[in-house]
Structure 1
Amino acid sequence: MKKKLLMLTALAVGVQLLGSCKKELDVNSQERVTLDNYYKTPADAFAGLVAVYDRFGFQAGGLYDKSAIMDVAGDDQLAGGGGPTDINDLQVTEKFTLNAATGPQSYLWNKGYSGIYRANQLLDKIGTIPMDASLKNRYIAECKALRASFYFDLVWFFKNVPIISGTVAPSELYNVTQSPPADVYALVEKDLNEAIAVLPATVPAATEGGRFTKGAAQALLGKVLLYEKKWQAAADQFAAVNGPTPGAVNPTYGYKLLTNYSDLWKVSNRFNTESVLELVHGTTSNGGWGDAGATEGNLLSITTGPRGYSQLAPSAPDYFSGYSFLVFTKAYFDFIHYDPRNAATVANLDSMKAAGVANYAPGYNNTGFFLGKFIGRVSTKAAVGQTELNFGQDQYEIRLADTYLMEAEALMNAGAPLGAGSRAYNLFNAVRARVNLGAVAVTQDNIEKERRLELGGEGQRFPDLVRWGKAASVLAYKGFVAGRNEIFPIPQSELNNTKLKQSKEWGGSL
């Protein structure tokens, strides 16, 4: 790994570490703040925690995030944009022409390991900070939950990744080796279990919305266990999140499905009762095009908007003109067309254009079907800063309908009862009842269909196909190669002059 991963770079912390350039060496050392003398106060500890959260929602400077990568890797969306090389990392992911040197894997790798480093740094230093013991324990628990989320993504994306314990001396950076995936999963489980024991059941949304809670950590642990095919253990974690009565409010955590599906995508509806773990975005960032990924706005809001959009009639949505990425395929539109979730999910620009209520300029691989869940609106654009980079719509990392469906799937695979009145049946059909659909049997085929309808455009389709063993057949037309494209290649930049090895799936030895 790179030396840069040993540097605490969060803007929230606002410190500069000692460097080697002449200009920095000329600075009065009394004006410098190093890691050794930084973590001294509760305020320092909180700033360090904010720095870890900064990596949790980090977006690439190339105008994409984890969700966008997963969207284009699936069968329901195309990269789109302005041409065949526009945001090339998404284009090569869609066509499965990525390789160790080209693609989004450096972003995924660096996002994970910079977050792990920041978490490890705070965990290493916080013990000596004089502060309230319960608050200190909460910060430690949040760090462990965040570190677990980073490791889970890394082991799922790359399979063969290093476990970095504590902080690593610069002289040892290039001697780091990868750990067996089972060891990484074990660490993820351990971190989450330890965090669950300490985290608060709820937090005040106005001041602490977006921070890990006990329910969020249990939902993440349930997902980890589901991916490991530990069915009953996964179901047990989801049961705590979903509550005793599917469709009713969870009396412990307050989670409940929203009545109206479309309300999930209202910018003002952040930290709602269906939100279990949320990526927070803001409208007051001073970030600019020099480093778009460092802004706090939701980049999906500008990248998914139709190019050259104009509202010709008051009945048309007040979309902010964007870059036409992540367009839905005609096949997905046909699949969801008569489902009640269609209108909230797919923005049918060709229909609006034909009706004369709106107009737009077709982009690359245009289908006319846009990701309506995240398109920025004129009515919600930021009042300050770079408008395109400052849309404040949050994203769901995990939401309750997802955990309902995952628990039903886990119960099915664990051999639990599935008939009418069973918990699996009630969970599964509560998701359908929310959009006024009738009950159907809990089967693998129905679960696959329901997740595709419920979670369209939310970065879940590709991981689902991979874990179900369906990716090779469903994605063959896009160039997916079985036994290779289930994971991403280790970035070439991480292999150079290190002991890291490329995975066998990508021609390596590990």
Structure 2
Amino acid sequence: MKRIGILLCSALLLSLGACEDDLDQAPISEASAANFYRNTEDFQIAVNGIYNALGSYPVRSLNLSEVRSDNVYAPGVSGVREWNPVNNFEKTLATNPLISDAWNANYVGILRSNTVLDKINETVVPDAATRDRFIGEAKFLRAFYYFDLVRLFGRVPLFNRVLTPAQALEVPRSPVEEVYALIISDLEDAISKLPTTYNAQNRGRVTASAAKGILALVHLTRSGPKLHPAGPTLGVNEYSKALTLLNDVISSGQYSWVNNYASIFSYTNENNPDIVFDVQAIGGSAGDVGVGSNLPSEMYEELYARAIGIPFPGGIPIDGPKTPSNDLINSYSANDVRDNFIILPSYRDPNGALVNRAQFVKFLDVSRAGVDRFNWPINYPVLRYTDVLLLKAEAILRGGAGGSQGEVDVIVNQVRARAGLQPIANVNLDMLLAERRREFAAEGLRWHDLVRTGKVLDVMNAWRATEDVARKINAVTANDIVYPIPQTQLDVKKGLYDQNPGY
């Protein structure tokens, strides 16, 4: 099932623990593991530690992309859950724990990447192919963490090596263009160093094709209309670059079409041909506590969990459900097979009373429940082959050289056919986005799709006008395209970071 060991040995945990504790004071700090990085085995553990920092990414994507978008209506019923202000576009998010957690988790991953890259050399890892692979993995993951940061916060402090706390306190936020320069450089180097495939023991590690796919997404994002002066879209024209990379992934022969939609997400069919890159999770037994996924528990409601006999506490309190929006639900036609797999429209509570409220169940298999809510043994797809195909269609529609309208229609109709839908013709960007919305619901892509394509303000404000019956969601402005810098970071050293406009 899972092939990447994501448990760190105690030596590595001790070496990194002090660094992570300092994240409330400075983005990264000095590593204290001078005697740890001595041989290939030590570096394998260290690289595994970089992957380990992905553990919070699935729930972060749910709360900061899915909940932020028109896919979820979560204004809150009473009290305030952490995700309710995100959904409501409130201006006080600088003190929200979801925001600071996103900042800290990404910089933990960057610190671990930098530590590996700083310390690796031919003496400690003599085999050139192994050394290149470690460097490629570290650079891919550093780029991935920075890409997450730039999409969430815009300008961020840039670190390409390990710094002391005092040094880190002298590093201001870098322009978005400079952050992207490191991301692109890292991904290009990763492509040249990563293998195309792995043996069964190492399945789940990042490949050269995965690096190409993420780099293509970077080019597409950079090319989007510039709606925010320091946001993730720059208005550059790199659609042809993206299209070339996506075609490389498609022609690699490493991935293929999966005919059954539900099987892509099956607990017993992980690492299937649709998965280009995912967050691996181990779970399901007492020995795996802490290394599984808590994503399902962040989607289903607590009342539902009790009703169906999930054997541990958890789930979303009914005063702040993350409800699939009516607009999303109504976007599915009656014969779309994805609808009922992704969304449960209603349920019976423990007393048998009908709860007429929908919830996401895409990643839920009750028969596979572990020992607690952090122990679901389900991987989280970050980049799927289906996504690669649809991103290719997007690149063509946006002007990427070498594609055609016919190719766009073929791609979209392949997705629709799997869903049980009739073909359509002359697919445009709005039609493509609508299909992406239905295909990737609950996978954390929707907000980024809207920002990347420049549709975010029009779509979100039109949705707010019809969906927000509670009248709690604020008008969405260009300032809302990025989140605020966490207040904990602003307080470290007055004047080091400026706050994003509007917060």
TM-score by length of 2: 0.82
Tell me, in whole angstroms, the C-alpha distance in 2 between the residues paired with 1:269 and 1:95.
37
Aligned to 1:246: none
The CA deviation at 1:416 is: 5.1
Which of 438, 447, 470 in structure 1 is aligned with 2:432? 447
- Please report how far the alpha carbon of residue 69 of structure 1 lies from its aligned counterpart in structure 2 after TM superposition: 2.2
8 Å Cα contact 1:489/1:502 also seen in 2: no
Contact 2:303–2:350 (CA under 8 A) maintained in structure 1: no
Q: Counterpart of 2:243?
A: 235
Provide Cα deviations, 1:241-269, integer angstroms capped at 9, x if missing partner: 122xxxxxxxx342112110111221111
2:297–2:315 CA contact under 8 A, matched in 1: yes
Instruction: Verify: 1:105 aligned to 2:107, yes or no.
Output: no
* Amino acid across the alignment from 2:361: G
Deviations 1:421-473 (A, max 9, x none): x3333223222222233332221121111111111111111111222222223
Equivalent residue number for residue 433 of structure 1: 417
What does residue 375 of structure 1 align with? 364
Structure 2: gaps spanning 5 or more residues: 1-5, 19-30, 224-237, 465-472
Q: Distance in 1 between matches of 2:242 and 2:403?
A: 17
* 1:347 paired residue number: 344
CA pair 413-361 structure 1, distance change in 2 beyond 3 A: same
User: Cα distance 1:305–1:92, how it changes in 2: closer, same or farther (>3 A)?
Assistant: same
The whole-number CA distance in structure 2 between the counterparts of 1:38 and 1:408 is: 47
Letter of the structure 2 residue corresponding to residue 380 of structure 1: R
Aligned to 2:381: 396
What's the counterpart of residue 263 of structure 1?
263
Aligned to 1:39: 37
Q: Deviations over 1:386-405 (max 9, x none)?
A: 42221111110111111111
Q: Post-superposition shift, 1:348?
A: 2.0
Residues 127-158 of structure 1 show CA distances to partners (whole Å, capped at 9, x for unaligned) of 14143111011000000000000111111111
Distance between the aligned counterparts of 1:263 and 1:493, measured in 2? 42
Identify the structure with bigger relative contact order (alpha carbons < 8 Å, sequence gap 6+).
2
Alpha carbons 2:243, 2:395 under 8 Å: kept: yes
Q: Hey, what's the Cα distance between the residues in 2 that align with 1:368 and 1:129?
A: 57
Instruction: Determine if contact 2:37/2:119 at 8 Å carries over to the other structure.
Output: yes
Write out per-residue CA displacement over residues 92-121 of structure 1, whole angstroms, 9 at most, x where no aligned residue. Answer: 111111432225211111111111111000
Out of 140, 156, 164, which is 1:161 matched to? 156
Of 169, 174, 190 in structure 2, the residue corresponding to residue 174 of structure 1 is 169
Does the 8 Å CA contact 1:68/1:326 hold for their aligned counterparts?
Answer: no
Q: State the Cα RMSD in Å.
A: 2.9
Instruction: Answer yes or no: is the 8 Å Cα contact 2:72–2:325 preserved in 1.
Output: yes
2:306 and 2:110 mapped to 1: Cα distance? 45
Residue 169 of structure 2 aligns to a residue whose secondary structure is helix
Taking every aligned residue pair, what percent have the same amino acid on both sides?
Answer: 28
Deviation at 1:175, TM superposition (A): 0.9
Partner Cα separation in structure 1 for residue 417 and residue 488 of structure 2: 49
Aligned residues between the structures: 450
- What stretches of structure 1 of length at least 5 have no aligned partner? 1-9, 21-32, 244-251, 289-293
Deviations 1:169-200 (A, max 9, x none): 22212111111111111111111011101211
SS of residue matched to 2:421: coil
1:137 and 1:360 mapped to 2: Cα distance? Answer: 59
Give the deviation of 1:337 after TM superposition: 4.4
Q: 1:19 to 1:163 in 2, by over 3 A?
A: closer
- Quickly say closer, same or farther: Cα 1:192–1:403, change in 2 above 3 A: same
Give the match for residue 30 of structure 1.
Answer: none
Where does 1:238-317 land on structure 2 (aligned, <5 Å)?
Answer: 238-243=246-251, 252-283=252-283, 295-309=290-304
2:107 counterpart of 1:118: no
Alpha-carbon distance between aligned partners in 1 of 2:71 and 2:79, rounded to the nearest angstrom: 18
Q: Distance in 1 between matches of 2:436 and 2:295?
A: 21
Structure 1 runs (4+) deviating above 4 angstroms are 17-20, 80-83, 284-288, 317-322, 356-362, 415-420
Residue of structure 2 in register with 1:387 after alignment: 372
Q: 1:475 maps to what in 2?
A: 460
* 1:276 partner amino acid: V
**8 Å CA contact retained: 1:120, 1:167:** yes
| Matched residue SS, 1:167 | coil
Q: Which moved more, 1:277-286 or 1:258-267?
A: 277-286
| Equivalent residue, structure 1, for 2:331 | 335
Query: For the Cα contact (< 8 Å) 2:204–2:277, is it kept in 1?
Result: yes
